[in-house]
Amino acid sequence: MNVQEYISSGIIESYVLGLASPEEQLEFESMSRQHPEVEAARIAFELSLEQQAMANAVQPPADMKQKIQAAVVGGQQEARVIPLDATHSRHTNWIKYAAAASIILLVGSIIWNISLINRNKQLQNNYEGTVAKLNDTQSRLSSFESEVNKLVGNPNVKMAAMKGLEASPSSVATVYWDSTSKDVYLTVNNLPQPPSDQQYQLWAILNGKPIDVGLIANEYFIGEKKLLLRMKNVSGAQAFAITLEHKGGSDTPKGKMYVLGNL
């Protein structure tokens, strides 16, 4: 019989389940020593048996544990009727092991604690960061809300939707102008980021003449974008436009016009 046949003969199951005769057991143990694959097959069957047993566990009632522990410990004391010197050496051994085990447990628990403390700190930092962000978002949202409330539902507010020109056809920006308070608000929907030595400038156009309504800070394109930019007031306008000027702006538009829209 070759090893493979031996493995699949049922001897492994017989041996593990305790059904093999003493002769079969001896034979199996010697085969295991000679052939690692026999041992491997035994271990594999044992593992599947253990899984099966775990899956079919029947939980004993809760009060069993104490009862069994008492029986186990009681039995242990009975068994300790041994010569004095042997008892002594056992005791010292036992104490040594217990001491070693408790030191290992202590060290383990300290390491565990430190890692918990670190983790806790990290979570605390994450939490504080998140709260700060949330507060910031909330304050920005509420100032935006109050600004929007001034515009929406106000019949005096007029809107100019400015569309992209040749320089940047996909650009869009919107101006809200309050004809009574003369306030001007700008929303940049889409403008390319300007070079650092240049700046966008908003113009109101009245009777063909441009009037400066303010610059858009370049920081606006880097940081978190405000939804509404408060610009300079203007007394009257028929249209609005944005041009790209040198940094600091111009008295009259000299750079390329990016967007333009009528009021």
Partner 1 sequence: MNTKLTYSEQELVALLQQRTDHSFNYLYDNYSGALLGIVAAIVNDHETARDVLQEVFVNVWRKIGSYDPTKGRLFTWMMNVARNAAIDKIRSRSYQDSQKNRELPDNADTSLSSAITGPKIDDVGLKKVLTTLKEEHRVLIDLSYFQGYTHEEISKVLDIPLGTVKTRIRSALTHLRTMIR
Q: What is the contact surface with partner 1 in residues (CB under 8 A)?
A: 8-19, 21, 29, 42-43, 45-61, 64-65, 67-69, 71-73, 75-76, 79, 94, 97-98, 101, 109, 112, 116
Nearer to partner 1, 60 or 195 (CB): 60
Nearer to partner 1, 49 or 123 (CB): 49
- Give the separation between CA 145 and CA 117, rounded to whole angstroms: 41
- Give the separation between CA 15 and CA 22, rounded to whole angstroms: 10
Q: 255 and 240 in contact (C-beta within 8 Å)?
A: no
Beta carbon of residue 172, minimum distance to partner 1 (angstroms, whole number):
56
Nearer to partner 1, 113 or 190 (CB): 113
Strands (DSSP E) contained in 30-152 are none
Helices and strands in the chain, H and E counts: 6, 8
Hey, which residues does 176 pair with through a beta bridge? Answer: 159, 185
Q: 5 and 31 in contact (C-beta within 8 Å)?
A: no
Nearer to partner 1, 80 or 133 (CB): 80
Please tell me whether residue 54 adopts helix, strand or coil conformation. Answer: helix
Beta carbon of residue 23, minimum distance to partner 1 (angstroms, whole number):
12
Beta carbon of residue 192, minimum distance to partner 1 (angstroms, whole number):
55
Beta carbon of residue 103, minimum distance to partner 1 (angstroms, whole number):
14
Q: What is the DSSP string of 141-172?
A: HHHHHHHHHHHTT-TTEEEEEEEE-TT-TT-E
Nearer to partner 1, 46 or 136 (CB): 46
Beta carbon of residue 60, minimum distance to partner 1 (angstroms, whole number):
5
